[in-house]
Amino acid sequence: MATPLSLLLIVAVTIRAALFRSTLAHLIAERVEVTSPLTAWKRVVEGLALLDLGVSPYAGDVFHETPLIIYIFHFLVDYAEVTFMLADVMVAVALYYAVRDYNKQVFRKQKFALEADRYPADCHELVRSPAEMHYVPLKVAMFYLLNPFTVLSCVAKSTCGLNNAVVSLFILSTVKGNVLLSAIFLALATYQSIYPLTLCAAALLYLMQRQFIPINACRLSFWWFVAQYAFMYLGSLFVMVGLSFFLLGSWDFLPAVYGFILSVPDLTPNIGLFWYFFAEMFEHFRLFFLCVFQINVFIYTVPLSIKLKEHPVFLIFMQLAIMAIFKSYPTVGDVSLYMAFLPVWSHLSRFLRNVSLVSFVLLTCSALFPVLWHLWIYAGSANANFYYATTLIFNLAQILLMCDYFYAFLRREHHLVHGLYPKRKDGSEATLVLK
Amino acid sequence: MATAEVEKRRNHLAALSFVAVVVVLGIPMWLRTTTTYRAWLPMAQIQELAELQLLLSTDVEVVFARGTLTPEQQKKIPVMHSRDEAHTIDETDLSMHTLSESPCGSLVVYVIPQSSPLLPQDVDVYVGQRRMALLRVDANMKAGKSLHQVLAALEPQVKEVLQVMSFSHDDITAALSDRVRLSPGSSQSKADSMRTFKSSPGYEITFSLLNPDPKWHNVYWDMEGAVRTYVQPLLSKLNPVANFSVDSQTLHYTMLGVNSRFDANHSAYTLSADSLAHVINPVEARLGSNAASSNPVLNFLLYVPDAQHSPLHILDNQKQKVTSNAFHSPRWGGIMVYNVYGYYGSDEIAFDININMVKVMGVFLSQLR
């Protein structure tokens, strides 16, 4: 199993190295779909230069990454390409082992359920076999490494790759059941950008199920575990923020990083939904819409975690997708992270309804982005509306993809309880309708 | 893999959590961020302003002339200077004013001895121009009394003099009543308050002669002479207040915008009072104006009606003929209708109307005031 993985890694590294050496690297690094004001490599270099001059790197509203990135690249700036390739490799390896472990657990649960005869008689098609699950981790690693979005993101040296690495390490430690590491990596991910906070609920659910703690608000053990996890999480977050303060000697990274993420002052076009709205809004209502948009990212956490209480890994997938669509400065690197999970749910393919539509739209939009950008900025014959329309459709396709998988997942669960071919009382065939 | 009951309950809980977030977080946030900003006004203080008292203060100086005080009393008052009196009241006034060292705008009361020849015998008080007053002191004040007593005795007299010399609340009210409406009054007082002109550094006066029918009437007026004779004196008197510039023009083929009706009662064409308002607007469009200045303009128009509409009279509200045959509009100017009588019977008529400039100017002047 390791050999195909190493082969894959070698192939991926080769592709990236080849692109790094070509002239395309410079071109890709300027694309707004791949880099955002938060993650651009150009800005990291600016921040490092400012630090060398003795000025705070956050002066002048150029650099918006955390001091940790400064610290890392202060030593590694000459090996930046290697760093980003290593980050991608780390993501792939972490996801590989995480998915392998997850599959083992899924299989074990399924075995128990089969022995307890909990599945209806006609659900044999839905039961998963080890044979089909054997290559899923490799597929996950492949989906991540060979995804054009990921390759572009790595070649552009966008720090999104590093954020993805931290999130994938968090997923690995959660799936392995290590509470402390899970809390630490989640704190690190939240420290990098605020939105991984929503993964907290999923991590809690998974860890509690793994330790057989009943998820019941009336039980003391539930709250005790939540308190432990919260303590570890907040403690590591506090330590990281404190370390950042001591690293640079001032608190101005707080408004520059978190204030920037939350208040969206920079309206450079990207593949997100914020920039166009806020470009044309009246000042009086800006705060209101800002609150609405930011609440929109966090509002799905609680309902989704209620609904998907028994499937926390799917919940993580959903949360990653929501973050990638609704965050304030998304890039294609965020999109590629949740797309890496799609092979894990490949058994749902019989219930997916919009596969062709979603795939065509995503492909078309990815092709349209550079075209309309060129038409808007360089040729002057299009305008912002064209580009934003493409953004809208791209996000719409992602939302549709997410909803599709959600529907398919729930439908499979429903079939596992109520049988695959539902019959009416008189024995004739009935159809399922989604209400 | 949960039962239907549990699933349903979960669905409800999920939907409820959505609603909870919207209501608890969303609605207060929406209310707070989208309310329009209302500035707080101190209504109580604004009400107080309506009752504000006007406070005018001036310095008052009391000067004792030579001979009013005994030498002992004199010692206690700081001696400014001594000067010789003039011989008449008017000269006193002027000389005192020019010699006075008191700050500008202060009132000065001079106390003069009993035997002074400045005032006639039985007059004790004289209030002069240039903020000066003379007060004759009583004879029994001088001897044997201390300074304080003398001053105390003088005080009510000085106060009375000052009260005469200064503005009281009623004076100011009367002076400003033209401009400021002190209380919501009748429509008449409203109309009166709108009548006065806004003050400006200069005014322009334009005299226009309107002739709708130059073919038949060849009117001519001697404007310069009339202005020199009648208008200029008034303007010279007003010169310290504002600058006036006068010009005149003649407009041909200008009609009144209103059709006048033939009224059998008066055997003339008439313009009723309410149609007068419509006259000005069309005419004003044709009046040229001296656009070089930003001063307000007063227009005085003389309209000679054409043969078809002669004679033309203006009727007032009671349907009586207005004697001067003219009307004026506050802040704009006036229009007078000049009827030409008894010149018919031939085709070409040319005449001048010099003689009646008296009448015209009289009307205009009263309107100007």
**Least confident stretch, A339-343, A387-391, B5-9, B62-66:** B62-66
In chain B, residues with a C-beta closer than 8 Å to the C-beta of A287 are: 33
**pLDDT > 80? residue B111:** no
In chain B, residues with a C-beta closer than 8 Å to the C-beta of A113 are: 1
Question: Quick one: pLDDT at residue B177?
Answer: 61
Determine the 3-state secondary structure of A17 from DSSP: helix
Q: What is the pLDDT of residues A251-267, one digit of tens each?
A: 989 999 999 999 999 89
Confidence band of B87 (pLDDT split at 50, 70, 90): very low
- Residue A153 near residue A161, CB atoms below 8 Å: yes
Q: Do B29 and A118 lie within an 8 Å CB cutoff? A: no
Question: In the numeric block, which tokens belong to residue B112?
Answer: 């003069």
* Cα separations in angstroms, A229 against A66, A177, A202, A370, B110: 24, 12, 12, 44, 97
Question: Quick one: pLDDT at residue A44?
Answer: 93
Q: Do A307 and B14 lie within an 8 Å CB cutoff? A: yes
Question: Quick one: pLDDT at residue B49?
Answer: 77
Question: Quick one: pLDDT at residue A188?
Answer: 95
**Least confident stretch, A307-316, B13-22, B64-73:** B64-73
What whole-number percentage of chain B has pLDDT above 90? 0
In chain A, residues with a C-beta closer than 8 Å to the C-beta of B14 are: 302-304, 306-307
Please tell me which residue, B286 or B192, carries the higher pLDDT value.
Answer: B286
Q: What is the pLDDT of residues A191-219, one digit of tens each?
A: 999 999 999 999 999 999 998 888 877 88
Please tell me which residue, A334 or B252, carries the higher pLDDT value.
Answer: A334
- Between CA B91 and CA B89 the distance in angstroms is 5
Q: Do A310 and B34 lie within an 8 Å CB cutoff? A: no
Confidence band of B53 (pLDDT split at 50, 70, 90): low
Rounded to an integer, the average pLDDT of A52-81 is 90
Rounded to an integer, the average pLDDT of A379-388 is 92
Give B10→chain A minimum CA distance, Å: 6
- Closest chain A residue to the Cα of B7, Cα to Cα: A307
Mutation target vs B (from A117, A215, A288; most B CBs, 10 A cutoff):
A288
Question: Quick one: pLDDT at residue B346?
Answer: 42
Question: Quick one: pLDDT at residue B103?
Answer: 59
**pLDDT > 50? residue B362:** yes
- Closest chain B residue to the Cα of A293, Cα to Cα: B26
Confidence band of B231 (pLDDT split at 50, 70, 90): low
Q: Do B14 and A303 lie within an 8 Å CB cutoff? A: yes
- Residue B329 near residue B297, CB atoms below 8 Å: no
Mutation target vs A (from B5, B33, B35, B37; most A CBs, 10 A cutoff):
B33
**pLDDT > 70? residue B171:** no
Question: Quick one: pLDDT at residue A419?
Answer: 77
Question: Quick one: pLDDT at residue A191?
Answer: 95
Q: Do B1 and A113 lie within an 8 Å CB cutoff? A: yes
Question: Quick one: pLDDT at residue B364?
Answer: 54
φ and ψ at A99, to 5 degrees?
-70, -35
Confidence band of B81 (pLDDT split at 50, 70, 90): very low
Give B33→chain A minimum CA distance, Å: 5
Give A190→chain B minimum CA distance, Å: 22
Q: Do A303 and B29 lie within an 8 Å CB cutoff? A: no
Q: What is the pLDDT of residues A104-119, one digit of tens each?
A: 999 998 888 888 887 8
Rounded to an integer, the average pLDDT of B223-230 is 67
Q: What is the pLDDT of residues A268-295, one digit of tens each?
A: 999 999 999 999 988 888 989 999 999 9
**pLDDT > 60? residue B363:** no
- Between CA A57 and CA A247 the distance in angstroms is 12
Nearest to B18 among A288, A303, A309 (CB): A303
Rounded to an integer, the average pLDDT of B85-114 is 60
- Residue A340 near residue A147, CB atoms below 8 Å: yes
Give A300→chain B minimum CA distance, Å: 8
Give A309→chain B minimum CA distance, Å: 9
Please tell me which residue, B125 or B26, carries the higher pLDDT value.
Answer: B26
Confidence band of A73 (pLDDT split at 50, 70, 90): very high
B204 backbone φψ class: left, alpha, beta (φ>0; ψ -120 to 50): beta
Name the most confidently modeled range: A74-88, B41-55, B240-254, B263-277.
A74-88
In chain A, residues with a C-beta closer than 8 Å to the C-beta of B35 are: none
What residues have CB less than 8 Å from B262, skipping those under 6 apart? Answer: B268, B269, B270
Q: Which residues face B314 on adjacent strands?
A: B271
Which ranges constitute the DSSP H helices of A193-285?
Answer: 199-210, 220-248, 253, 260-263, 274-279
Please tell me which residue, A151 or B91, carries the higher pLDDT value.
Answer: A151
**pLDDT > 70? residue B141:** no
Among candidate residues B259, B55, B77, the one with its CA nearest the CA of residue B150: B77
**Least confident stretch, A359-363, B114-118, B314-318:** B114-118
Rounded to an integer, the average pLDDT of B127-142 is 64
**pLDDT > 90? residue B230:** no
In chain A, residues with a C-beta closer than 8 Å to the C-beta of B29 are: 288, 291, 295
What residues have CB less than 8 Å from A46, skipping those under 6 apart? Answer: A57, A62, A63
Query: Which of 176-235 (B) contact A at CB < 8 A?
Result: none
**Preceding peptide of A67 cis, ω within 30°:** no
Query: Which of 10-49 (B) contact A at CB < 8 A?
Result: 10-11, 13-15, 17-18, 21-22, 25-26, 29-30, 33-34, 36
Name the most confidently modeled range: A162-166, B146-150, B311-315.
A162-166
Other beta carbons within 10 angstroms of residue A93's beta carbon come to 18
In chain B, residues with a C-beta closer than 8 Å to the C-beta of A413 are: 1
Please tell me which residue, A113 or B80, carries the higher pLDDT value.
Answer: A113
Rounded to an integer, the average pLDDT of A80-98 is 94
Q: What is the pTM of this model?
A: 0.66
Nearest to B30 among A288, A299, A309 (CB): A288
Rounded to an integer, the average pLDDT of B325-330 is 65
Rounded to an integer, the average pLDDT of B34-60 is 75
What whole-number percentage of chain B has pLDDT above 70? 34
- Between CA A79 and CA A17 the distance in angstroms is 12
- Between CA B340 and CA A214 the distance in angstroms is 114
Give A108→chain B minimum CA distance, Å: 15
Question: Quick one: pLDDT at residue B286?
Answer: 72
- Residue B256 near residue B283, CB atoms below 8 Å: yes
Which ranges constitute the DSSP H helices of A116-214?
Answer: 130-133, 136-145, 148-155, 160-176, 179-192, 199-210
**Least confident stretch, A14-18, A182-186, B150-154:** B150-154
- Between CA A90 and CA A96 the distance in angstroms is 10
**pLDDT > 80? residue B94:** no
- Between CA A111 and CA A132 the distance in angstroms is 15
Give B42→chain A minimum CA distance, Å: 25
Please tell me which residue, A128 or B337, carries the higher pLDDT value.
Answer: A128
Confidence band of A299 (pLDDT split at 50, 70, 90): very high
Question: Quick one: pLDDT at residue B349?
Answer: 46
- DSSP H or E segment with residue B249: strand B243-252
